[in-house]
Amino acid sequence: MDIGITIAAILTLAIYSFLYKDNPFYKTAEHILLGVSVGYFVVITITNTLIPKLFIPIFIEGKLIYIIPGVLGLMMFLRFHRRSAQFSRIPLSIIIGVGAGAAIPAYMQAQLLAQIKATMLPLTNLSNIIIIAAVLTVLVFFYFSREHKGVMGFGAKAGIYFLMLFFGSTFGYTVMARVSLLIGRMQFLLHNWLGLIN
């Protein structure tokens, strides 16, 4: 039997032992997971990002302009030095500035305008009527500048029901996803480890 599969199976059972109660096997498996994840992230960041995107351009291809982002990256570590911590704000401000600059028009176009356009539907079938009713009533529910009474109250109440339907369907999908994860582990234990199923 593959030693890797046996180790994975034992760790799976150790994690599931938490369902009975917290215990040292669960804790050990949890710590292994954390350690391996962090180690993997550090290695892949060095081999897949720092080497091809920073070290090779500077030291092999002689592209010295790459020193600037390299220095900015190193400046992030100044957070750990109390007297120099303020300089770590420089690369952070660049990240936030560039990020916001890229995100705002993209969100406006992809999330706001495209979604508003998709809501402007002809009232020719039941689906379109439900979509428009849901959008309007949920917007009414989140309008807080006027008391929810009369027509506003009716609209807000309908909005709550639409929200509840959304939460219910989302929760249903979440349950489905969690069951899928259990199926995956069970397939691994019964097929890969024990060989009970094809």
Partner 1 sequence: MDAVGGKRINIRHIIFILMALAVALPLIFKLGLPLRVTDEVRDVYGFIDSLPENSTVLISFDHDTSTLPEMVPLAEAILRHCFRNNIKVIGLALLAEGAAVGDDNLRRIAGEYHKEYGRDYLFLGFRPQFTVAILSMGEDIAREFPRDYRGVDIHNYPIMNNIKNYKDISAVISIADGDMPLYWINYAQARYGVKVIPEVTAVMATTMYPFLQSGQLVGLVAGLKGAAEYEKLLGKPGLASKGMDAQSTAHILIVLLIIVGNVVYFINRRKMRI
Q: What is the DSSP string of 171-184?
A: HHHHHHHHHHHHHH
Shortest Cβ 151–partner 1 spacing (Å): 26
- Site residues (CB under 8 A) for partner 1? 19-20, 37, 40-41, 44-45, 47-49, 51-53, 56, 98-99, 102-103, 106-107, 109-111, 114-115, 117-118, 131, 166, 169-170, 173-177, 179-187, 190, 196-197
Between CA 198 and CA 188 the distance in angstroms is 11
Structural element, H or E, at residue 114: helix 114-119
CB of 115 to partner 1, least distance (A): 6
**For partner 1, which is the closer residue by CB, 40 or 154?**
40
- Shortest Cβ distance from residue 177 to partner 1 (Å)? 4
Contact 155, 140 (CB under 8 A): yes
3-state DSSP assignment of residue 23: coil
CB of 180 to partner 1, least distance (A): 4
The nearer residue to partner 1, 118 or 139, going by C-beta atoms, is 118
Least gap, CB of 155 to partner 1 (angstroms): 20
Query: Closest separation between CB of residue 163 and partner 1, Å?
Result: 12
Q: Which is nearer to partner 1, 78 or 128 (CB)?
A: 128
State the Cα angle at 190 between 185 and 195, rounded to 5°.
140
CA distances from 3 to 12, 85, 112 (A): 14, 47, 52
Q: Which CB sits closer to partner 1, 40 or 87?
A: 40
Q: Which amino acid is at 53?
A: K
Rg (CA), the chain: 27
Give the nearer residue to partner 1 in terms of CB position, either 6 or 47: 47
Collapsing DSSP to helix, strand or coil, 41 comes out as helix
Encoded amino acid at 140, one letter: V
Q: In this complex, which beta carbon is closest to partner 1, that of residue 41 or of residue 154? A: 41
How many C-beta atoms surround the C-beta of residue 156 within 10 A? Answer: 21
